[in-house]
């Protein structure tokens, strides 16, 4: 019976999928399978031939294999490896090369014979690439093929660098990289312009010949493409869908990457559910959007035709369900994000008391405050709350080099104008001008350059916070040390990061904290900064009375918003408030027009922010709620 239930739950899935609670558990499971294969081959006196992948996804797997080598006696002397791909052109010594990646994360830490390591050569003349690729294939064939191939997946659905349009029988070859793939790699290269346009990759046909294939994916950023790869039709537009044709493939996912699969996203379509309030709210909102009706117009027929008959029977009549959910959504809307004084707050998202609250807005980068919740920020100040803003990092990696020269030229001219000596400034300026033309992709700036970039972001943040109505003593620059590496790759969180946060919290003793709750990118600054706040609160909890009365509200960035059923506070903005928010964002001139790290969204930050908040308001409107110009959304985090 259990097997039948599983088949029903997974009937939308066209290949085997294993889901783990988190990427750490999943990585250990994959590493154990690789280790078991290696040991089984050793017992037979045979070679284990592995196809390996690069990128963030397999790092945990490699770390666990290294641990097993050092602590559990796992030897790699009988292992032969073939990597999936390499950028072209690419020197093996470059920081971005997959040769560097593999040695840093695996090969330098184990006893593998380096003669058994094969990684596509990014230094070849173009004329030599085709012959090299044929030889790469032949080497694999002469060893009897790959025993196991591990894969990641790109947001285009690529496996290896087999981009949309790749043929299912393709072999090892040179390819042109998709624009989205290059955008995703831009941080590693210090900007998209520095990302190679070509790569050498194993083909889909080569991958298919492996006796076992494991594709791994972690975090919500991968959830949409995983749904297409697992449940979608086979198409060259999503190369990973070709894996549906294999009898030897398995997708290994963490819960976030699996979150949009039908059995997790809309489970009522495949099984009976335990209808707690959150699932009921999600299902009713989904149904309203599916049939394009306001919540209060949903009928029993709508429920029955869309997998929700069980809910209708257990908790109906459906009109009562509709009213309940409509009221819950309506109660999230408030024009008083700090609580409405002298009001009944039993149906409001925030407490009425104290009427004037101490609030801290934590901003991971110097512009997240106004981009993500600028309207709410301004309203909190306008309504008389004691608002502080804390900029957790300097944001100094996200400033263009030519902006540095512009500010230095201003500093020199101003210093001259007041009759001061400019010798040192001039020397620094000339050093900077000499450095920039020779600067390599992702090369660390000099300390003076990093300081100037940080000062640029700082002055912009001050201007934005002042525009929102704050006094200077309520504007805090934390410059958390984990960020100050000068590189896109940051240090691990240290004691000083947490202590600086504790110090500020003890100083303000807030009743409200607003923090960036965008966890789509597990290596992103937002998530790191959020964890630092939680660590600080955890240490203070039980020791300081004010913590018990402090609420933590999460906001989202300029790219994504909470799903409607997740929103617990929606702050509507008038057309005038939207313009005020826009003006606050405009204070961040270095991030306007074309930011250094724009991601795959070409819109300016203020446009993204306005489109996002307008969409939130429209989603509420379609459900039958009042129509507003825009809405900023928040979700409470229980700590």
Q: How many residues does the chain have?
A: 639
Name the residue among 628, 629, 626, 636 with its Cα closest to residue 330.
Answer: 626
Q: Known catalytic residue: 104?
A: no
Spell out the SS3 assignment of 288-317.
HHHHCCCHHHCCHHHHHHCCCHHHHHHHCC
Beta strands 173-176 and 198-201, pairing class: antiparallel
Residues 6+ away with beta carbon under 8 Å from 291 = 298, 302, 306
Preceding amide of 354 cis, omega within 30: yes
Choose, from 86, 163, 260, 632, the residue flagged as catalytic: 163
Residue whose entry in the numeric block shows the structure tokens 């410059």: 479
Report yes or no: 74 and 67 within 8 Å, Cβ to Cβ: no
Q: Is 528 exposed, middle or buried (0-12, 13-18, 19+ CB in 10 A)?
A: buried
The Cα 598–Cα 186 span in angstroms is: 9
Buried b (16+ CB within 10 A) or exposed e, 145-173: ebbbbbbbbbebbbbbbbbbebebebbbb
Name the residue among 84, 160, 174 with its Cα closest to residue 129.
Answer: 174
Residue whose entry in the numeric block shows the structure tokens 């507003």: 628
Report yes or no: 200 and 85 within 8 Å, Cβ to Cβ: yes
Name the residue among 242, 246, 207 with its Cα closest to residue 50.
Answer: 207
The Cα 24–Cα 348 span in angstroms is: 39
Element (H, E) at 327: helix 318-330
> DSSP assignment of 498-553, as one string?
HHHHHHHHHHH--SEEEEE---SSTTSHHHHHHHHHHHHHHHHTTTSGGGGG-EEE
Distance of CA 423 to the CA centre of its chain: 45
Report yes or no: 91 and 57 within 8 Å, Cβ to Cβ: no
Beta strands 17-20 and 630-637, pairing class: unpaired
Active-site annotation, residues: 163
């Amino acid at each position: 019976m259990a097997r039948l239930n599983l088949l029903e739950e997974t009937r939308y899935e066209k290949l085997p999928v294993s889901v783990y609670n988190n990427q750490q558990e999943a990585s250990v499971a994959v590493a154990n399978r690789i280790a078991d294969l290696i040991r089984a081959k050793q017992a037979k006196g045979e070679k284990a031939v592995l196809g390996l992948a690069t990128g963030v996804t397999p790092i945990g797997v490699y770390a666990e294999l290294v641990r097993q080598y050092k602590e559990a006696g796992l030897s790699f002397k009988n292992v032969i490896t073939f990597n999936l791909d390499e950028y072209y052109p690419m020197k093996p010594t470059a920081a971005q090369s997959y040769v560097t990646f593999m040695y840093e994360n695996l090969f330098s830490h184990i006893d593998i014979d380096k003669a058994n390591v094969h990684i596509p050569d990014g230094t070849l003349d173009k004329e030599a690439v085709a012959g090299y690729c044929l030889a790469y294939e032949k080497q694999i064939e002469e060893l009897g093929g790959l025993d196991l191939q591990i894969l990641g997946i790109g947001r285009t659905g690529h496996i290896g660098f087999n981009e949309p349009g790749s043929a299912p029988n393709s072999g090892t070859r040179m390819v042109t990289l998709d624009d989205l793939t290059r955008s995703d790699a831009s941080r590693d290269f210090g900007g998209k312009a520095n990302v190679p346009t070509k790569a050498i990759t194993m083909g889909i046909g080569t991958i298919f010949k492996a006796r076992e294939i494991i594709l791994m994916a972690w975090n919500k950023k991968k959830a949409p493409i995983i749904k297409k790869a697992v449940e979608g039709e086979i198409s060259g537009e999503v190369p990973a869908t070709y894996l549906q044709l294999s009898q030897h493939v398995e997708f290994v996912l963490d819960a976030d990457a699996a979150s949009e699969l039908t059995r997790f996203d809309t489970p009522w379509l495949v099984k009976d559910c335990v209808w707690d309030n959150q699932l009921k709210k999600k299902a009713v909102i989904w149904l309203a959007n599916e049939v394009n009706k306001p919540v209060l117009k949903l009928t029993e027929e709508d429920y029955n035709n869309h997998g929700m008959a069980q809910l209708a029977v257990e908790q109906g009549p459906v009109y009562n369900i509709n009213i309940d959910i409509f009221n819950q959504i309506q109660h999230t809307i408030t024009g008083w994000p700090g609580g409405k004084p002298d009001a009944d707050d039993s149906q409001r998202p925030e407490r009425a008391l104290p009427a004037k609250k101490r609030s801290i807005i934590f901003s991971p980068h110097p512009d997240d405050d106004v981009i993500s919740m600028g309207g709410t920020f301004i309203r909190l100040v306008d309504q008389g709350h004691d608002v502080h803003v804390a900029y957790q990092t300097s944001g100094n990696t996200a400033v263009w080099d030519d902006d540095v020269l512009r500010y230095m030229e201003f500093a020199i001219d101003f210093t001259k104008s007041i009759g001061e000596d400019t010798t040192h400034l001039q020397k620094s300026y000339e050093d900077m001008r000499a450095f920039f033309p020779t600067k390599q992709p992702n090369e660390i700036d000099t300390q003076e350059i990093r300081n100037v970039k940080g000062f640029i972001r700082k002055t912009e943040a001050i201007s934005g916070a002042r525009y929102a109505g704050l006094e200077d003593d309520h504007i805090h620059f934390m410059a958390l040390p984990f960020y100050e590496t000068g590189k896109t790759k940051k240090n691990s969180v240290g004691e000083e990061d947490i202590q600086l946060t504790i110090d500020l919290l003890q100083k303000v003793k807030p009743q409200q904290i607003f923090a960036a709750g965008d966890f789509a990118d597990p290596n992103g600054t937002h998530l790191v900064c959020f964890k630092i706040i939680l660590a600080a609160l955890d240490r203070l909890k039980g020791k300081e009375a004010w913590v018990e009365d402090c609420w933590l509200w999460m906001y989202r960035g300029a790219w994504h918003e909470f799903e409607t059923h997740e929103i617990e506070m929606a702050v509507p903005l008038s057309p005038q408030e939207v313009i005020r928010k826009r003006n606050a964002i405009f204070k961040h001139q270095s991030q306007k027009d074309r930011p250094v790290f724009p991601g795959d969204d070409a819109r300016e930050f203020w446009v993204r922010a306005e489109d996002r908040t307008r969409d939130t308001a429209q989603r509420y409107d379609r459900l039958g709620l009042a129509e507003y110009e825009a809405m900023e959304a928040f979700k409470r985090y229980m700590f």
